[in-house]
Amino acid sequence: MSARTIQICETFVSIQGESTYAGLLCFFVRLAGCNLSCVYCDTPQARVPGKPMRITDLVRAFRSSKAAIAEITGGEPLLQPGFNTLATSMHRAEFKPVLVETNGSCDISIIPPEAVAIVDIKTPGSGMNNAMDMANVGRLRRHDEVKFVMVDRGDYEWARRLVRRHRLADICHAVLFSPVVPTLDPAKLANWILKDRLPVRLHLQMHKMVGMR
Question: Distance between CA 84 and CA 62 in Å, rounded?
Answer: 16
Domain boundaries along the sequence of the chain:
5-209
pLDDT score recorded for residue 2:
54
Question: Distance between CA 101 and CA 174 in Å, rounded?
Answer: 14
- Local mean pLDDT, 10-residue blocks, the chain (213 residues): 83 93 96 92 82 96 95 95 94 91 97 97 96 97 97 98 97 97 96 98 80 60
Count other C-beta atoms under 10 Å from residue 120's C-beta. Answer: 24
Question: Distance between CA 150 and CA 14 in Å, rounded?
Answer: 24
> Nearest-5° angle of CA 13, CA 36, CA 158?
100
Give residue 38's region: left, alpha or beta (phi > 0; psi -120 to 50).
beta
pLDDT score recorded for residue 207:
66
pTM for the whole structure:
0.94
pLDDT score recorded for residue 192:
98
CATH superfamily of 5-209: Aldolase class I (3.20.20.70)
List the one residue out of 131, 123, 130, 134 whose CA is nearest residue 183. Answer: 123
> Nearest-5° angle of CA 95, CA 96, CA 97?
125
pLDDT score recorded for residue 200:
98
